Structure 1
C-alpha cells in the first residue's frame, strides 16, 4: 500500500486593506521624510516642492510595481485631506474672517468665469463637451476631486476622466514653478501673492506647495482661498444635475456634501487654535505632522506627471489646458490686485 501523503495545498492569505496599502504609503512617507531632510539641509527649498519634484523624477526613471498603486492613491487623496486638517492648527479663525466679502466675491467670479470661459473655448475648438466640462471644473474649482465629482453629471468615459486628471496634475505642477516666477518681479506682498495662488492653482496640494515657496503669510491665506473654491463644488454639481435632468439625460447621482469633511476638520482645527491656548511645542509638532502628510500626498501626485500624458491627451485638449489655466490665473490676479 502506498502510504505517501499528498502535501496539503498552501493557502495564500487574503491580503487585508492594511497590507494592500502599506507598500504605497510607505514609499510616499519615505519620500516625505527625505524631502523634509532636504529642507533641513537647504532651508530655502520647501519640503513640499522637493516631494512633488521627487515624484516627477521617480515616475520617469522607475517603473513602480503595481503593489504600490493602492497606497499611492490613498496618499494622493485621504492623506492629503488629513494634512489639510492638521494645517488648520496653523490658522486662527479671525484669519479666515479677515478674507472679507471682497475676496469671497472674487472666488465666485474665478469659478464661474473659469467654467463658462473654458466651456466656450472648448466649443470653439471642437473639443467634446464632456471632456471640456471635466477640464473646466477641474481647473476652476479643486482639481482632480472636482473632475471625479462632476463625472456622474456628464456623459464622459474613463478616457475623458483620465485625460482631465492628467491635465490638472500637469498644468497645476507647472504653475508651482511658474506662478512664483511671474509674481516675484512685481513687488506684490506675500499675502496678495497667497491670495492669487489660492485663487488660481488647481489642486490643494499644489496650492500648498506654492504657498510654501512664497513664504511669509502666503501659505495659510492661499489654502483658505482654495478651500473657498472647494465650497463652490456643491452649487456647481447641483446646477449640472439640473441641466442634465432638463436635457433628458440620466438621473444624477447623490450630491456631495455641501461642506466636505476635510474642510470641516480644517475649520475645527482652526477653532481649536483660536479658542484654546496651545503651547508652541504642540504647534511645532502639528507643523511637522502637516509637512509629512502633505509631502506624502504631493509625492503621490507628482508620480502622476509623465511626458506620456502629452501623447495620450492630444493637441487640442493641451491647448485648452494652457488657455484655461491662463484664464483662471488672469481672473484671480486681476481680482486680488483690485482688492489690494
Structure 2
C-alpha cells in the first residue's frame, strides 16, 4: 500500500505524455509519407516544420479556455518529453551510423581537414550570432547546428548545457538555411563547373542536417552522394567532443554566477552528458564489426523515429511571432553563417578533391 501514491503519480505522468507522443508519432509518419512523395524534402526538416505549424496554430487563440489552447496544453508535456528524452535516445543511436571504414577512406589528413573546418564553422557562426546580438545561449546553439548536424546538434547541445528554452530560434534558422542549401548549392555547382566528387565533398562539408546533405548531393549522382555522406559522418563524429566542451563551459559559467541555467537549484550540468557517453559507446560498438546488419537496420529506423519525434517536439516550441519580431537580427546572423560555412565547405572540397583522398 505504501507504494500506491508513487505508482499513482507515475501513472499520471505517463498519461500526461501520451497525447504529445501520439501526435509526434503521427507527425513522423506524415513526414515520411511526404518525403516518399517529394524526396527532395528531408524527413527531419518536415518534422520541424510540422511542429512549428502545429504549435503556432494551437497557440493562436488568446483566450486560455479556447479548445485549441486546451489541445496545446494537453500536447505540451509529451512533446517536451520528446524534445528532451527522445532526442537523447536518438543521438545515442546516431553513433551506430558512423562507419569506421568510410571514415578511414578519407585518411587521417582528410579527417583532420574536415574537423578543422567544423571548428572554424563553429567559431565563425558563434561570432556572427554575437555580432547580431542574439540572446542567451542562441549563439552557441546556432554554432552547433550550423557546424555539425543541424537541428539534431542543437538539441544535443541544448541538452548538454541545460538551456532548451533557447533552442527554438536556432532550430528554425538552421532548418531554413539547410533547405536553402538544397536549392542553391546545385545551382552554384553548375555555375562553378564542379565535378560530382567535388560537389559531393562540398555538400557534405557545407549543408547542415544529414537528410539535407543527402537531398542536396543526390542531385549530382551516386559518386557525389557517397562523397557527401563520408564528409558528413566526420562532422557528426565531432558531436561528442563539442557537446562535452559545451557542457563544461556551461558548468563553469554556472559556478561563476552561482546558478545552473534552466536546471533545478542545487543541480549541476554533468561534465560529460550521459547521452554523449552513449553516443561514443555506439560508435565503438559499430567499430568492432560485431553488430549484426539486421540490428543496424532496426537501429537506423529507431534513430529516425526518435529524432523525428524529438524535432517535432522542438519545432512545436518555435514561436513564429517572436522569430519574426527579431527577424532582421536572427536572419542576418544565419545568412552570414550560411555563407561562411559554404565558403569553408568549398575550400574543404577543393582540398579533398586535389589531395590523395579516396571514397
Instruction: Identify the match of residue 30 of structure 2 among 34, 46, 50.
Output: 34
Output the aligned Cα RMSD: 4.0
Q: Please, which runs of 5 or more residues in structure 2 have no aligned partner? A: 1-7, 60-70, 219-224, 261-267, 354-359
Shift of 1:184: 1.7
Return closer, same or farther for 1:137/1:277 CA change in 2, 3 Å cut-off: closer
Shift of 1:107: 4.3
Shift of 1:172: 0.9
Question: 2:101 maps to which residue?
Answer: 94
Question: 1:300 maps to which residue?
Answer: 313
Deviation string for 1:317-340 (max 9, x for gaps)?
A: 442233233323432332243222
Shift of 1:173: 0.7
**Is 1:267 aligned with 2:283?**
yes
CA distance in structure 2 between the partners assigned to 1:144 and 1:236 by the alignment: 12
Question: 1:3 maps to which residue?
Answer: none
CA distance in structure 1 between the partners assigned to 2:236 and 2:304 by the alignment: 18
| 1:25–1:72 CA contact under 8 A, matched in 2 | yes
CA distance in structure 2 between the partners assigned to 1:242 and 1:116 by the alignment: 19
Question: 2:232 maps to which residue?
Answer: 222
Greater shift after overlay, 140-149 or 171-180? 140-149
Shift of 1:28: 0.6
**Is 1:166 aligned with 2:168?**
yes
Shift of 1:189: 6.9
Shift of 1:149: 3.8
Return closer, same or farther for 1:192/1:90 CA change in 2, 3 Å cut-off: farther
**Is 1:73 aligned with 2:80?**
yes
Shift of 1:53: 3.4
Shift of 1:52: 3.3
Give TM-score, length-normalised by structure 2. 0.67
Instruction: Identify the match of residue 16 of structure 2 among 20, 29, 46.
Output: 20
Instruction: Identify the match of residue 213 of structure 2 among 207, 211, 214.
Output: 211
Return closer, same or farther for 1:262/1:181 CA change in 2, 3 Å cut-off: farther
Deviation string for 1:64-122 (max 9, x for gaps)?
A: 51222222123234323433444555553312333433344334433443454355556
**Is 1:146 aligned with 2:142?**
no
Shift of 1:178: 1.1
User: Matched residue pairs, number?
Assistant: 310
CA distance in structure 1 between the partners assigned to 2:155 and 2:80 by the alignment: 12
Greater shift after overlay, 22-31 or 250-259? 250-259
Shift of 1:174: 0.8
| 1:123–1:129 CA contact under 8 A, matched in 2 | no
* Aligned residue runs from structure 1 range 1-340, under 5 A: 14=9, 15-40=11-36, 46-63=42-59, 65-87=72-94, 89=96, 91-118=98-125, 120-121=127-128, 132=139, 135-136=142-143, 139-140=146-147, 142-147=153-158, 149-150=160-161, 162=165, 164-185=166-187, 186=189, 196=202, 199-200=205-206, 207-214=209-216, 215=218, 216-217=225-226, 218-219=228-229, 222-235=232-245, 238=248, 254-257=270-273, 260-268=276-284, 270-271=286-287, 274-276=289-291, 278=293, 284-313=297-326, 315-340=328-353
Give TM-score, length-normalised by structure 1. 0.70
Return closer, same or farther for 1:109/1:265 CA change in 2, 3 Å cut-off: same
Q: Which has the larger radius of gyration?
A: 1
| 2:121–2:147 CA contact under 8 A, matched in 1 | yes
Shift of 1:27: 0.8
| 1:106–1:336 CA contact under 8 A, matched in 2 | no
Greater shift after overlay, 94-103 or 192-201? 192-201
Return closer, same or farther for 1:57/1:191 CA change in 2, 3 Å cut-off: farther
Q: Please, which runs of 5 or more residues in structure 1 have no aligned partner? A: 1-12, 152-157
| 2:198–2:350 CA contact under 8 A, matched in 1 | yes
Question: 1:9 maps to which residue?
Answer: none
Greater shift after overlay, 51-60 or 84-93? 84-93
| 1:198–1:221 CA contact under 8 A, matched in 2 | yes
